[in-house]
């Protein structure tokens, strides 16, 4: 029996051990999905606090709820560790690590390379390696595999991809806070470096995902993921630019979008905001832009969208300055409440949140800034921002004490009537006060 057939039988009989590197927003839900599918899971993370939390069933990702980690902690088919030598125990290894941008907006795939080194140190015949981290086309074949092989101990037997071990890319499609889809119900793209790897990876993912879509190569799967997020980034930039145009005309961009959305074909509504947040949309298009330079192409359209989206926090602050001026108040010394720190509604995820940049811009202008977020009680340390701040209560008395309230994230748990009734001035970037413009506060849309 050849290596591929042995692995195929182990997967089909639920004997395969699946190792997942990175137990964050992508890796933890994936571990749960595979566990529900009947497989044994071994989780890996460099953060000991996550390992400790999982041992007692405590979920450090609030939007996932507590049932997931409780089930994993009680199961004999799940364990988590910081000991990457145990990767040797795994039949399949899935990499779910961050892919941020560097200081000059260049791709930083160091987390992928480091994970590949960890895998290479114990790589053996019969293992399937899948990368899920969003990245530019070619990363799996040209960066991850060489990194694995260069880390193999001296004197190790030569292993051939597609014969001795197998490699595929399957992009993560997590959307924290979404209720309509989860890891199990979201269709999964899978593309291998060869036909056998594609088949084995697809077979594995079918254990945890209802609908697996196999594509012709890892590069197609990588490019599809970048396209998904670039599509969103470009369309968000379009409505953000429309907002800049329509606002001086006295036209409500949200009403315009709602009107256009009544067309049952040929239109998909996107909504403006104070800037992009999360780990995907603000970052992934720049991966494609960087890779395009390798083949001598410029991505003018994508770069323009990036410029528009990254300028939105500055636009919001400019609108606040102008609104305060109408009240004969300078920004310096004004008390400003930022409502919403998370990058999207109803979760505690602050990755790349535009709220952090808005807070720093306001502080640079001399404003006295506070924030309220029911999901984020303390301002967490971020890659670009380190601010010592705690969420304040949202009561009529508190709101009345601020010169301006800016709504950055429209959480459902926020009582917007308190803001509409008690605030002096509201700068609303999310249309959260729709229908409440005559309750006392002066409302400026931004």
Environment class of residue 228 by beta-carbon count within 10 Å: exposed (0-12), middle (13-18) or buried (19+)?
middle
How far is residue 399's CA from residue 415's CA, in Å, rounded to a whole number? 12
How far is residue 198's CA from residue 189's CA, in Å, rounded to a whole number? 10
Residue in 90, 280, 339, 404 annotated catalytic:
280
Helix/strand/coil for 300: helix
280 annotated active-site? yes
Q: Is residue 27 within 8 Å of 74, Cβ to Cβ?
A: no
Q: With b meaning 16 or more CB within 10 Å and e meaning fewer, what string describes 399-432?
A: beebbbbbbbbbbeebebebbbebbbbbbbbbbb
Alpha helices per DSSP H over 164-214: 195-205
The torsion angles phi and psi of 161, rounded to 5 degrees, stand at: -65, 135
Q: With b meaning 16 or more CB within 10 Å and e meaning fewer, what string describes 47-64?
A: eeebbebbeeeebbbebb
92-95: strand order across its sheet: 78-81, 40-44, 17-21, 92-95, 128-131, 166-169, 188-192, 212-214
Q: From residue 26, how far is each of 33, 61, 131, 222, 405 by CA, in Å?
A: 11, 11, 12, 16, 34
Task: Please give the structure tokens belonging to residue 97.
Answer: 């690590």
Secondary structure of 48-105 as H, E, C letters: HHHHHHHHCCCCCCHHHCCHHHHHHHCCCCEEEECCHHHHHHCCEEEECCCCCECCCC
How far is residue 384's CA from residue 102's CA, in Å, rounded to a whole number? 11
Task: Please give the structure tokens belonging to residue 441.
Answer: 């506060």
Q: How far is CA 348 from the centre of its chain?
A: 12
Q: How many CA atoms lie within 13 A of 107 on its CB side?
A: 26
End-to-end CA distance of the chain: 65
- CA-nearest of 123, 122, 188, 131 to 161 is 123
How far is residue 60's CA from residue 76's CA, in Å, rounded to a whole number? 21
Catalytic residue IDs: 280
């Amino acid at each position: 029996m050849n290596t591929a057939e042995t692995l195929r039988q182990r997967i089909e009989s639920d004997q395969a051990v699946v190792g997942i590197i990175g137990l964050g927003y992508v890796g933890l839900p994936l571990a749960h999905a595979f566990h529900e599918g009947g497989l044994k899971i071994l989780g890996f993370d460099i953060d000991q606090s996550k390992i400790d939390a999982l041992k007692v069933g405590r979920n450090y990702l609030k939007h996932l709820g507590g049932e997931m980690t409780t089930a994993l902690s009680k199961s004999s088919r799940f364990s988590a560790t910081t000991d990457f030598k145990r990767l040797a125990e795994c039949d399949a290894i899935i990499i779910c690590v961050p892919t941020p941008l560097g200081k000059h907006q260049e791709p930083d795939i160091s987390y992928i390379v480091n994970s590949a080194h960890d895998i290479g140190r114990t790589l053996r015949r019969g293992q399937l390696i899948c990368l899920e981290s969003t990245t530019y086309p070619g990363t799996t074949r040209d960066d991850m595999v060489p990194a694995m092989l260069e880390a193999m101990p001296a004197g190790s037997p030569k292993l051939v991809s597609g014969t001795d071990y197998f490699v595929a890319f399957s992009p993560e499609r997590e959307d924290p806070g979404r209720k309509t889809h989860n890891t199990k119900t979201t269709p999964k793209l899978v593309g291998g470096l060869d036909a056998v790897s594609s088949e084995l990876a697809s077979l594995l993912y079918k254990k945890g995902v209802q609908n697996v879509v196999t594509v012709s190569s890892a590069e197609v799967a990588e490019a599809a993921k970048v396209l998904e997020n670039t599509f969103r980034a470009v369309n968000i930039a379009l409505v953000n630019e429309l907002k800049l145009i329509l606002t001086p005309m006295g036209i409500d961009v949200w009403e315009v979008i709602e009107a256009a959305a009544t067309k049952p074909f040929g239109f998909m509504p996107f909504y403006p905001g104070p800037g992009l947040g999360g780990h995907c949309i603000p970052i992934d298009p720049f991966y494609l832009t960087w890779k395009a330079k390798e083949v001598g192409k410029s991505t003018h359209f994508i770069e323009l969208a990036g410029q528009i989206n990254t300028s939105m926090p500055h636009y919001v602050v400019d609108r606040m300055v102008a609104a305060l001026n109408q009240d004969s108040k300078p920004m310096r010394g004004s008390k400003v409440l930022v409502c919403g720190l998370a990058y999207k509604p109803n979760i505690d995820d602050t990755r790349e949140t535009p709220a952090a940049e808005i807070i720093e811009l306001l502080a640079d202008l001399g404003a006295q800034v506070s924030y309220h977020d029911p999901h984020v009680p303390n301002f967490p340390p971020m890659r670009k921002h380190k601010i010592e701040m705690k969420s304040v209560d949202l009561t009529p008395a508190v709101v009345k004490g601020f010169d301006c309230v800016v709504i950055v994230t429209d959480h459902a748990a926020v009582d917007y009537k308190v803001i509409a009734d008690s605030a002096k001035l509201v700068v609303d970037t999310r249309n959260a006060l729709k229908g409440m413009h005559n309750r006392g506060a002066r409302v400026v849309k931004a």
